[in-house]
Amino acid sequence: MKKEKNNIEFCGQTIIHDDVVRDVNERMLFDETVMALAEFFKVFGDPTRLKILYALSISEMCVCDLAALLSMSQSAISHQLKVLRQTRLIKYRKDGKVVYYSLDDDHIRHVFEQGLAHVNE
């Protein structure tokens, strides 16, 4: 049996189902959690970074090679590697002048596959 509607004003917003809103509000995620989550997914939301991650899931590579592979400037690649480093998705080791990048964690592969599964329906 449907309960009757009881429209309420709250913070200038009309609430039609205050019971549902109250319930969901109590279970809502912390703002910082949502922010962190958004940042995490945002990193995967760029073709260049996805290609880099995919490439590194196959083999560690240096900046030069990644630039050649993706036909992009060394600078562009380097900037994106910085983003991936800062979000701890990749790690690196230095060997002389050359810096080798690799995935930080197999966990990343899983997220990637998860996305691929969706895209391929």
Q: Does 99 bind a copy of itself (CB under 8 A)?
A: no
Q: Find out whether 66 and 101 touch, Cβ atoms under 8 Å.
A: yes
Q: Does 92 bind DNA (CB under 7 A)?
A: yes
> CA triplet 92, 69, 102: central angle to 5 degrees?
20
Residue (of 99, 93, 115, 98) closest to 49 by Cα position: 115
For strand 8-10 and strand 13-15, is the pairing parallel, antiparallel, or unpaired? antiparallel
Q: Which does 29 bind (CB under 5 to 8 A by kind): a copy of itself, DNA, none?
A: a copy of itself
Q: Which does 92 bind (CB under 5 to 8 A by kind): a copy of itself, DNA, none?
A: DNA
Residue 100 DSSP symbol: E
Binding stretches for a copy of itself (CB under 8 A)? 10-11, 13-17, 20-21, 23-25, 27-29, 31, 33-47, 50-51, 54-55, 58-59, 61-62, 64-65, 67-69, 71, 74, 98, 107, 110-111, 114-116, 118-120
